[in-house]
Amino acid sequence: MMRMDYKTWLKHANTTDDNLGPDKEHWYYRLIGCGDLGQDCDRGSSEYLYDELRFFQPVEDRLYVVDPEEQKGIHCRFGMKGVIAENHFDASRNAIVLLGGERRYILSHPNQCQKLALFPKAHPSGRHSAVDWSDPDLNSYPDFAYATANEVVLQAGDALYLPTFWFHFIVSLELNFQCNQRSGVSRESRGWIKDCGF
């Protein structure tokens, strides 16, 4: 990971389509507001996020924060066109808000985990699919052909609630700005994830 300011990132990220491709550099910018978690959650945390994104403040009766006591900070990720987040699940509820640009989300229910070829729990990429979702090898992962999914394209102003253990593969369709907050765990899908070794 490399530390840089927003202006430097934006210079890298604002590129033309002829400079994009799998063999080219892709730039990703991240901010984290730790709140009550303290500075230990991220060196150089951006606490102003709680002032700017008041709907993520961990107080009772907030739409985006289901369990204020279990909030995990505000995480903002800015992506240039072509940046992906490999398919994975998170072990908490997730409220995602797109502040600018477009992102494509491919979502799978936890009951699909047996078909998604997850790396083992102890693997450095545990919780992630071994399948390259940009170019799946169905000879190596034949069950993947039978996995079901939903697709949604988030645009500026859209919000997505992602329940605990739901799988998500994310593609930046253009320069975009997204913030999310995880808060608490729901247990209704735990059995499927447990059957997959987690």
Chain length of the chain:
198
Q: Return the CATH number at 26.
A: 2.60.120.10
Residue 110 lies in a domain: yes
Residue 114 lies in a domain: yes
CB atoms within 10 A of CB 184: 15
Note the pTM of the prediction, 2 decimals: 0.89
| Rounded Cα distance, 56 and 65, in Å | 6
Sign of CA dihedral 32, 3, 7, 168: negative
Residue 63 lies in a domain: yes
Total domain count, the chain: 1
Burial class of residue 2 in the structure, from the number of CB atoms within 10 Å of its CB (0-12 exposed, 13-18 middle, 19+ buried):
exposed
Range of the structural domain that residue 118 is part of: 6-195
Residue 146 lies in a domain: yes
pLDDT tens digit sequence for 112-153: 999 999 999 999 999 999 999 999 999 999 999 999 999 999
Residue 1 lies in a domain: no
pLDDT tens digit sequence for 36-95: 776 667 777 888 898 888 888 877 767 777 777 888 889 999 999 999 999 999 999 999
At residue 67, the pLDDT reads 79
